[in-house]
Structure 1
């Protein structure tokens, strides 16, 4: 299960490509998500990709949601626990996160 959750997080970023079609602001964004993306040392991680994902997150997610998402890189079990949680707050966050993933795929890929 841990591998599946890790792959889900990586797939969200890897599917974004290398920044094609993203605005220059999104491609040049920096922050905790971009740093975690690069630190995760995935084969498709790059400055343009991770910066684009950060830029989309800056627009689509609150600071609190962005900080929460960073934990997914450090421990994929956090993402899994959030996804299967039955609290309304976690369900709401997961819906926002999934909407972010769809937007990042469109804008960064």
Structure 2
């Protein structure tokens, strides 16, 4: 009985965490790309969790929602933007390799 209660408590604590989409997953699901589905976008979010900070994920999500802004960041002369772009590019390459069906 105690094991069942502990298992149920753990499940109740974990469910809200698994239901929350990260910023990349949310932007991916809202995009007009035909390949965007929960499985693919969830996979991409997992890669983002491994390669980008929370702030970088929010910035990347903005680029997914507004691809024209990506060009601005890519062409920026700012060291901060250049460092972000290098990590964003690595994230994209990793996601493509890891999440390819």
Question: What is the aligned counterpart of 1:53 among 44, 55, 62?
Answer: 44
* Structure 1 unmatched ranges of 5 or more: 1-27
* Bigger radius of gyration: 2
Higher relative contact order (CA 8 A, sep 6+): 1
Moved over 3 A (4+): none
| CA RMSD, 1 decimal | 1.5
**Pairing 1:71–2:71 present:** no
TM-score, length of structure 2 as denominator length: 0.76
**Greater percentage in helix:** 2
Distance 1:36 1:87 in 2: 25
Structure 2 gaps of 5+ residues are 1-18
Report how many aligned residue pairs link the two structures: 82
1:40-86 deviations in Å (ceiling 9; x for gaps): 13111111000000010011000110000011122212111000001
**TM-score under structure 1 normalisation?**
0.70
Offset, 1:31:
1.0
Does the CA-based 8 Å contact 1:38-1:47 persist in structure 2? Answer: yes
Equivalent of residue 21 in structure 2, options 30, 49, 71: 30
